[in-house]
Structure 1
Amino acid sequence: MSVTLTARPDSPRSVALAGGLHPAGVFFLLAGAFLPIMDFFITNVALPSIDASLHASASELELVIAGYGVAYAALLVLGGRLGDRFGRHRVFLGALVGFVVASAACGFAPTVGVLIGARIVQGATAALLIPQVLATFHHTLEHERKARALALYGATSGIAAVVGQLVGGLLVSADIASASWRPIFLVNVPIGLVVLVVASRIVPATRSDHPVGIDLAGTVLFAATLTAVLVPLTEGHSLGWPWWTWAMVALACVLGVATAMVERRAERRGQIPLMPPSLLKLPSMSRGLVMLFAFSIGFGAFMFVFALTVQDGLHEDALHGGLAILPMALMFFLGSVFAPRLIGRFGRAALSAGAIIQLAGLASLIAVVVDRWPHVHLWDMAVPLALSGAGGSMLFAGLFRSVLADVPTHLGGVGSGVLITLQQSGLALGVATLGTLYLARAEHNTPHAFATVESVQMVIIALLAVGAAVLPRFTKAAAVAPVLDA
């Protein structure tokens, strides 16, 4: 007698074979997305340990963060289009393999140069991986299941930023096998392999029926522009601003103009370029992208300078450096959960209220650091950080939701790619600009350096509080726009 084993019709494997996505598949896709998002921030609390181990300069430490962000931002749209053309399941798994290998290279890096190179590869593979998650949700889920999956993605992407520093602190302080900072990268290997094995079986294969062409020229020019901006900004101060740094800044301006011309010409030929000029002229895009870009600059800088202030300034270890951010992490998560409902009820006023709450948190945090230095206890910063996290989550969710309000449905994927690209560019630019400002001033007075950078962030948030009034009114279309293909 022979026994034939068949999967239950409602099992994750059977649902995937039928072209659907089981809740378990949603979970593992989110897990795959969580790792790359967290990895941008997990390194912040490990910077002092990396410095001590690899004898890195301040500018090299910035490149460890910004190099990842530049590669991520520059290739994100390309990643979405590769998934549309060659299959999202295939690209997701291939990118995950690359991310795991790059993480291992980071963990075993013998020099800071190798670490920076491996981080760039990490960012590039992350850019190929993330778009497949959103696109798979869009093409396999409907109605409430789609909305729920995308709400979870929003919460995941938001909380990954602040949880990254907490997990980084825990891993560095644990000093597993006397490896110091290396486990923050090596932990990606076993988790990534588990996600790879399971996702290969329970995530369905999808692709676009009408894939958008790959804008190779636009991608190369945009990446070159970002590089030409960020390299002199990160290296200039420590090197005394030699002539080549100013030459690169001038080159960035030329490349920026060339990028705009190439994109405009491509659109005139009927192609869909990396950054479609017609999309950027829409009210929601032209206003919302500027605001989201500014918010990302401030947020990226805050996470960088706060970690250094706590560890290098207050001489706390990595564990306490990670725990210090916990109040912000918890409130950012709770805010991400309730933000959609509040924004749906109060509209743009909710964004302004979130900005005001964040301003109150940042102002009180500056007061605590400056007035009580050097006897600042982590508990002293808990309430200011909680306020900043709660307000920031509301503002972030509202800006993310509003940017695509006017984008036609058939261009939703392109618009989402532009949004996330500029978000990641802003994070990297925040580290390169305000992070450099902090490092220059911290040599003389750490609390005043922190206050200077956070005052700049407060100006940004104050402008966003006022600017929220010019955003398009929220509609149901705006609420679901970010779910479209990334």
Structure 2
Amino acid sequence: MKRLWYQAEAAGIVFPVSKTTTGTAHPSTPAATGSGPVPAIRHGAVLGPLGLFTVLLGGALPLIDFFIVNVALPAIDSDLAAGPAVLELVVAGYGVAYAVLLVVGGRLGDTAGRRRLFLIGMAAFGLTSLACGLAPGAWTLVGARVAQGAAAALMLPQVLATIQATTQGARRARAMSLYGATAGLSMVLGQILGGVLVAADVAGSGWRSVFLVNVPVVVLGLVLAVRAVPETRSERPASVDVPGTLLLALALVSLLLPLTEGRATGWPLWTWVSLGVFPFAAAAFCFAEHRADRLGRSPLVPPSLLRLRSLRRGLVMVVPFSIGFSGFMFVIAVALQQGLRMGPVAAGLALAPMAVAFFAASLAGPRLVGRFGSRVITAGGVLQGVGVALILLAVQLGRPDLGLAELAPGVAVAGLGQGLQLPVLIRLMLSDVPADRAGVGSGVMSTTQQSALAVGVATLGSLFLTLVPSMGTRDALAVTLLVQLGLVALTALLSLRLPRVMG
């Protein structure tokens, strides 16, 4: 993370502030986003290197915690006698609360102040992490994880919104690239860190350390945020859309909860009823948002945002990418520990080549985008597909005691491909979002990504765990990798529809 800070400083994120006070961008300043007047960066609202480091730290924490529990689940089960259904809820409770409240968190930041919501969300994240680490029982842990997901949803949208509101032009592009690098790296490092912490058993804390480690990081983040993160808010704040919020929550819960709990609970009637509710809830949400827009109100997800081609097509692509990414991360953690009998450290370190390759690719991405535009994303998809195919060959053709050396080439190539996709895709999706809608725009993007991450764990995880009893770990893993390969091919094809030139 410190290296990301140095990269930002080298990129020159600090820049002069326009002296205009009219509420529109200075004529000499490149128009950043959207059509119509663009709010100027207010005097003092400048995100320097320390501020960028701080918001990136806040952006990393929620993503790390989505994945950090994957390698800790066996230890949690052993200590708390949780059982499969409750273990699913430890993962799902966080993911569902996080996804449901992200857009609301973005809207609140636009209205009440993004720095204020960032501080509130980070403080709540620290307290709920402490509650997770001290949980005396499995259901207490589930409740604390739900609260932790809600806190993350308050904090994360403010990261991208603050970057959008306090940077412009090339500096914004560099900051967005650093955010994308941080996001992808956090998802990989989460599992590596989880394995190391569980095995280290610091002061006999065992699995609890994967949550308690957040507390000192949050304290540091709060101190830095007070000092270095400027306050920004929308020039045209809008009230919270209560009907839209409730309908979006109903739609996401009705989809994500049965998918994550269905296999572990044996697919009871309520799971099918809930899945049946989803399309109606989603349709009602779309109708309510369009109606609010026609009546001149403030919809939770303004339809005008989805008319932005870069955002709309990027959202379509991020769904299969995130489903495949999270499904792979969950399945590989379970397969290596429970099927191939690796310890938590070895299971985590198996992904180290992916982290290194992802970081290298994400740093090279901005230069490549300058030459090749969004086709960098397509090239990344091809490389990721090659990497997944190499992992599949290692699983099928490798020796019985499959080890880190056999997995390393495929994992590294897959990480290289992912590093060329995710940071560039995030930058592309938000490139045309108006600055005064930065919070809701980042909330929509993060909600889509987070929902897809949860669906990936639920669907590919359920597929793998269902096949293991009849096929064995290796063959079940091979089938799951084939499905992921199909998702990678789909993302590569969808990338061809992205705008070629990026702002």
TM-score strictly above 0.5: yes
Separation of aligned partners in 1, 2:211 and 2:283 = 37
The CA RMSD measured in Å over matched residues stands at: 2.3
Residues 285/142 of structure 1: CA separation in 2 closer, same or farther (3 Å cut) = closer
Amino acid at match of 2:453: L
Structure 1 gaps of 5+ residues are 1-11, 477-486
Structure 2 contact 378–495 (Cα < 8 Å) conserved = yes
Aligned pair 1:198/2:202, yes or no? no
Amino acid at match of 1:112: A
Q: 1:337 to 1:88 in 2, by over 3 A?
A: same
Which stretch shifts more, 124-133 or 55-64? 55-64
Of 148, 151, 155, the residue aligned with 1:122 is: 148
Match of 1:460 in 2: 487
2-structure distance, mates of 1:91, 1:187: 22
Q: Deviations over 1:246-279 (max 9, x none)?
A: 1111122221222122112111112342233343
Matches of 1:371 and 1:81, distance apart in 2: 51
Tell me the amino acid that sits aligned with residue 379 of structure 1: A
* Residue correspondences, number: 463
Q: Measured at CA, do residues 87 and 467 of structure 1 come closer, stay the same or move farther in structure 2, by a change above 3 Å?
A: closer
Is residue 438–residue 450 contact of structure 1 (8 Å, CA) maintained in 2?
yes
CA distance in 1, matches of 2:99, 2:143: 16
Structure 2: which 5+ runs fail to align?
A: 1-13, 18-41
Per the alignment, do residues 276 and 374 of structure 1 end up closer, same or farther by CA in structure 2, a change over 3 Å counting?
farther
Structure 1 counterpart of 2:68 = 42
Q: What does the per-residue CA deviation read over 1:166-221, in whole Å, with 9 as the maximum and x for residues that have no partner?
A: 11111111011222110000010111112212322332333222113312221222
Q: Deviations over 1:310-331 (max 9, x none)?
A: 1111111111111110000111
TM-score, with normalisation over the residues of structure 2? 0.87
**Secondary structure of 1:24's partner?**
helix
Whether 1:30 and 2:30 are equivalent positions in the alignment is no
- Name the residue aligned to 1:424: 450
The equivalent of 1:400 in structure 2 is 426
Q: In the alignment, which residue of structure 2 is the partner of 1:3?
A: none
Mapped partners of 1:31, 1:345: distance in 2: 30
Equivalent residues of 2:195, 2:348 under 8 A apart: yes
Q: CA deviation at 1:369?
A: 1.4
User: After the TM superposition, which parts of structure 1 deviate over 4 Å for at least 4 consecutive aligned residues?
Assistant: 15-19, 142-145, 404-413
CA distance in 2, matches of 1:404, 1:208: 16
Q: What is the match of residue 163 of structure 2?
A: 137
Alignment of 1:228-247 (within 5 A): 228-247=254-273
Matches within 5 A, 1:42-191: 42-191=68-217
Which residue identity does 2:251 align to in structure 1? Answer: T
Distance in 2 between residues matched to 1:285 and 1:30, nearest whole Å = 22
2:496 is aligned with 1:469: yes
Query: Retained in 1: the 8 A contact 2:176–2:426?
Result: no
- Confirm whether residue 447 of structure 1 aligns to residue 492 of structure 2: no
User: Is the CA contact (8 Å cut-off) linking 1:45 and 1:308 kept in structure 2?
Assistant: yes
Task: Give the deviation of 1:122 after TM superposition.
Answer: 1.0
Q: Secondary structure at the match of 1:182?
A: helix
Cα pair 1:362 1:388 within 8 Å, conserved: yes
Q: Map 1:370-409 onto structure 2 (within 5 A).
A: 370-372=396-398, 374-404=400-430, 407=433
Cα displacement (A) at 1:461: 1.0
Contact 1:19 1:205 in 2 (8 A): yes
Give the equivalent residue in structure 1 for 2:329. Answer: 303
**Stretch moving more, 36-45 or 135-144:** 135-144
- 1:315-334 correspondence runs (5 A): 315-334=341-360
**Which TM-score applies when normalising by structure 1?**
0.89
Q: Which amino acid in 2 is paired with 1:311?
A: Q
Query: Contact conserved, 2:381 with 2:489, CA < 8 A, in 1?
Result: yes
Distance 1:146 1:470 in 2: 24
Which one-letter code corresponds to 2:499 in the other structure?
P
The equivalent residue for 2:22 is none
